[in-house]
Structure 1
Amino acid sequence: MLRCALLLCGLLAGTAAVAAEFVSVVEPAILYDANSLKAKKLYVATRYLPLQQLVVLAGWVKARDSTGKVFWIEKRNLSSKRYVVVTARATIARQSWSSSATIAFRAERQVGLEWLGNVGSWVKVRHRDGSTGFIKNTDVWGE
């Protein structure tokens, strides 16, 4: 019985590790309702879209986006390079991880930013123009 419980705990821990892993879309890619090219095509994902991996199979990944929608995408269209997407109506990136720090740049909802790391409740990001800054983690998804 103990052996079964330990096995179950190990399986659950492994599932949780995969569930928290974020990836990004390399190039625009089709999102499907099942793990097959013959499945219904749902959307086209844009480049750099951050996705949370839910299930990883040979050649396919079941993923969730910032809106909570779940779909399948071909694994070859994904990268381990991390991006976040602004979910707040607008946000301010600061030059350091403080609300009183100088403004580095502003970003609107749905803007994709390269994830550079977390510092407490702040996320260090890089804008596509090269600017870097810190954004509150409540204003972005994918970190």
Structure 2
Amino acid sequence: MQIRRRTIAALALLCLGGAAQAIDYRSVDVPAAVLYDAPSQKGKKLYLIKAQTPVEVVVRLEGWCKVRDAEGTLAWIEARNLGERRMLVVTAAKAEIRQSDKIEAPLVVEIDKGVGLEFIEPASPGWAKVRHRDGATGYVRSLQVWGL
């Protein structure tokens, strides 16, 4: 009976600890990587994903990561193909990069849907500081991008 209570308590703590974990976003760190339907090179090749594409890591398993992309597709990628650099992808028709994290701030540049932005740091609620590959830096509304 004592062992059963300890087991239940341990499982409860594990469940609570899992709920507190932050979402893990990574970006593809090679020119192109293959996504598979299983954590093996023998799995079915689903599609290629290009460099700097952000993905959400859902599961880690012996050199493999199950990831979700901006469209919600789940697939497996070799962990060595992911880097620490955090990227976002524009999901709105046009994302507005502003000089500060205020809607009335001057516009720096508009970015088209599908373009990647480097995540620099969080800003006020609903905003993130980002950098475009051409060097333009500013703030984007979180509703206009995926990967936060």
TM-score (ref. length: structure 1): 0.92
* SS of aligned partner of 1:62: strand
Q: CA deviation at 1:86?
A: 0.4
Q: Aligned pair in 2 of structure 1 residues 47, 38: CA closer, same or farther (>3 Å)?
A: same
Whole-Å separation in 2 of the counterparts to 1:53 and 1:8: 24
Q: CA deviation at 1:139?
A: 0.6
1:32 aligns with 2:42: no
1:95 aligns with 2:102: no
Structure 2 segments unaligned to the other structure (5+ residues): none
CA RMSD of aligned residues (A): 1.6
Residue in 1 that maps onto 2:142: 137
Residue in 1 that maps onto 2:133: 128
Residue in 1 that maps onto 2:24: 21
Larger-gyration structure (1/2): 2
| 1:24-52 CA distance string (max 9 Å, x none) | 00011000000000110011001000000
Q: Aligned pair in 2 of structure 1 residues 63, 16: CA closer, same or farther (>3 Å)?
A: farther
Q: CA deviation at 1:4?
A: 1.7
Structure 1 segments unaligned to the other structure (5+ residues): none
The share of aligned pairs that are identical, in percent, is 42
Whole-Å separation in 2 of the counterparts to 1:64 and 1:16: 19
Matches within 5 A, 1:103-122: 103-119=107-123, 120-122=125-127
TM-score (ref. length: structure 2): 0.89
Q: How many residues align?
A: 142
Whole-Å separation in 2 of the counterparts to 1:50 and 1:103: 25
